[in-house]
Amino acid sequence: MAFQQPLDQIAPSVSEATERERERQESTLGMIASENHVSEAVLEAQGSVLTNKYAEGYPGNRYYGGCQHVDTVEQLGIDYAKELFGADHVNVQPHSGTQANMAVYFAALEPGDKILSLSLSHGGHLSHGHNVNFSGQLYDVEQYEVDPETGYIDYDDLEEMANEFDPDMIVSGSSAYPREFRYERIGEIADDTDSYHLADIAHVTGLIAADVHSSPINHADFVTGSTHKTIRAGRGGLIMCDQQYADDIDSAVFPGAQGGPLMHNVAGKAAGFAEALTDEFEAYAEQVLANAKTLANVFETRGLSLVSGGTDKHLLLVDLRESHPDITGKQAESLLSDVGIIVNKNTVPGETRSPMVTSGIRVGTPALTTRGFKEDEMETVAELIVEILENPDNQTIQDRVTSTVEDLCEELPIYSE
Ligand SMILES: *Cc1c(COP(=O)(O)O)cnc(C)c1O
C-alpha cells in the first residue's frame, strides 16, 4: 500500500535530494549567519503527526474539535518562551519571521502609516519596508543607515530623523549589523515621537534567550523573532508583547495574516525552547560569541577589514574593498564554496556594487558551534578563509584547503556518531 511506503520508494528523487542535502551539510562548513542545525528532538517533533491537525484559534479556544493534545503542545511552547524571555504575552504561531512582522504591522498600524527602519543595504530586512515586500507597499517607509565611517548606527542622527519624519513605528533589528542595538535608546526615541517600537530579534533570538545579548523586552512594544537562527527550534517565527496588546496581536496572526497554525512546527518550537532552557544551551550561546570573536581576531590580524571593526554577536561583515579590491562578494562566496566553506555575499555600508555582486561577505558561527567547533577550530577556519581570498588562482592551495575542510567535518559531525 502506497500509504505505508517510505519516501525513497514513493518519490525516489525527493528522497535522494534530501539525503544529498544531509551529506552537503555534514561535509561542508556552514557559515551562513542565519542558518543552524536543529537537534534530533526538534526533527522528530517537526516530522510528526501534528502536521495532520487543524487548530485555528488558540489553546482552549479553537474552531475545530480534537485539539486537546495540540493545545498542550502550543501552551508548552508559549510557557517555555515566557520563561526564556520574560515576556508577558507570547504567540508561537507565525509561520516565519516575516509573518510575525506582518502581524505586528497589522495589529498596530493602518495602511499608509509611517515606519522608520534600518535600510536593507545597511543590514536591515526585506520585511522592514523594502519596496519588493508588502511592508514597503502598504506603508510609508523611511530608513536610517549606519555611519559609513564607523559602521555603527548614529543614534543622534536616528533621533533627528524620527523628529522630522514623525513615524508611527520605529523598527530596530537587522540581518547583517554586527553590533547590538541600543534598545533602550530607541525605545526613548519612540516614546518621544509617540510611535511604537518593534524590536525584530530574528538573528539574536537564541543569544537573548541565553542572556548573552541585551534584551529589548521592556524597551519595545513588540518583539518579533525567528526560531531557526541562533535558537535551534526549527523554521518559524514568534511574537512577544505586553498584555495590553495580546488580543490585537493574536487576532492579527489568526485570522488576520494566517490560517491554521503549523502544529508540527509549533511542536518544534516547544522542543527547541525546552533545549534553550538548559545550561548546555547557555554554554552554546557563549561559545557562539567566543567563536565569532576568534574569527574577528584572526581576520583583523591578517589584514581583512570588518564593518564596525568587529562584532558583538554571532556574525561578522567582511568589507573586501581595501584588502581585496579585485574580489567581489560574489566571487568570494564562490571561491569559498568551491572548497566547502559556505558563506553569503553581502552589501557593505557605502556599497558601490549591486546587491547581486556586492563588496562583502557575511560570516556566522551558530551552525559550526552546534557541531562542536571551539576557538582552535575557528582559528583554523579563519586562516583557511584568508588563504583562499589571498590565493584565488592557486589550485594547490585550494586542494589543500578542501582536504582540511573535509577533515574538520569528519572530526565534528552534525548528526552521525
Ligand atoms: C531572518 C530575518 C527575519 C525572518 O525571516 P523569515 O525568512 O521570514 O523567517 C526577519 N527579520 C530579520 C531582521 C531577519 O534577519
DSSP string, 165-213: H--SEEEE--SS--S---HHHHHHHHHHTT-EEEEE-GGGHHHHHTTSS
Nearest CA among 221, 260, 201, 266 for reference residue 42 = 266
| Cβ–ligand 1 contact at 133 (below 6 Å) | no
For the Cβ of 96 lying below 6 angstroms from any atom of ligand 1, the answer is yes
- H or E element, residue 127: none
> What is the CA(54)–ligand 1 centre distance, in A?
25
- Residue 2: the pLDDT is 84
pLDDT at position 364? 98
Enter the CATH code of domain 283-411: 3.90.1150.10
Question: 296: number of CA atoms within 13 Å, CB side?
Answer: 22
For residue 224, how far is its CA from the centre of ligand 1 (angstroms)?
9
Atom of ligand 1 nearest to the CA of 173: 13
- Decide: 170 and 186 in contact? Cβ < 8 Å: yes
Residues 77, 224: Cα–Cα separation, whole Å: 15
CB 172 less than 6 A from any atom of ligand 1: no
Residue 340 burial (CB < 10 Å; 0-12/13-18/19+)? buried
Cell matching residue 166: 514623525
What atom of ligand 1 comes closest to residue 203's alpha carbon? Answer: 15
The CB of 135 under 6 Å from ligand 1? The reply is: no
CATH number for the domain running over 44-276 = 3.40.640.10
Q: Cα of 408 to ligand 1 centre, how many Å?
A: 30
Pocket test of ligand 1: the residue of 128, 200, 222, 231 to mutate, having most ligand atoms within 8 Å of its CB, is 200
Query: Under a CB-based contact definition with an 8 Å cutoff, are residues 256 and 103 in contact?
Result: yes
Can you tell me which atom of ligand 1 is nearest the CA of 96? 9
Residue 260, annotated ligand binder? no
* Single-letter residue type at 167: P
Query: Is the Cβ atom of 251 under 6 angstroms away from ligand 1?
Result: no
Asked whether the beta carbons of 351 and 358 are under 8 A apart, the reply is yes
pLDDT of the residue at 185 = 98
- Per-residue confidence in pLDDT tens, the chain, 417 aa: 789 999 999 999 999 999 999 999 999 999 999 999 999 999 999 999 999 999 999 999 999 999 999 999 999 999 999 999 999 999 999 999 999 999 999 999 999 999 999 999 899 999 999 999 999 999 999 999 999 899 999 999 999 999 999 999 999 999 999 999 999 999 999 999 999 999 999 999 999 999 999 999 999 999 999 999 999 999 999 999 999 999 999 999 999 999 999 999 999 999 999 999 999 999 999 999 999 999 999 999 999 999 999 999 999 999 999 999 999 999 999 999 999 999 999 999 999 999 999 999 999 999 999 999 999 999 999 999 999 999 999 999 999 999 999 999 999 999 975
pLDDT of residue 208: 98
- For residue 378, which of 364, 392, 388, 389 has the smallest C-alpha distance? 364
120 annotated among ligand-binding-site residues: yes
The response to whether 109 counts as a known ligand-binding position is no
Q: Is the peptide bond before 325 cis (omega within 30 degrees of 0)?
A: no
In the chain, what are the domain boundaries?
Answer: 44-276, 283-411
Backbone angles phi, psi at 147, to 5 degrees: -65, 120
Tell me the sheet residues that pair with 199: 172, 223
Residue 125, marked binder: yes
Distance, CA 237 to ligand 1 centroid (Å)? 8
**What pLDDT, on the 0 to 100 scale, is given for residue 1?**
77
CB 98 less than 6 A from any atom of ligand 1: yes
pLDDT at 417: 58
Angle between helices 375-390 and 279-301 (to 10 degrees): 30
According to the model, what pLDDT value does residue 196 have? Answer: 98
Give the cell for residue 215. Answer: 534584551
- In the sheet that holds 305-306, the strands lie side by side as 305-306, 315-319, 360-364, 344-346
Q: How far is the CA of 104 from the centre of ligand 1 (A)?
A: 14
Cβ–ligand 1 contact at 203 (below 6 Å): yes
- Amino acid, res. 217: I
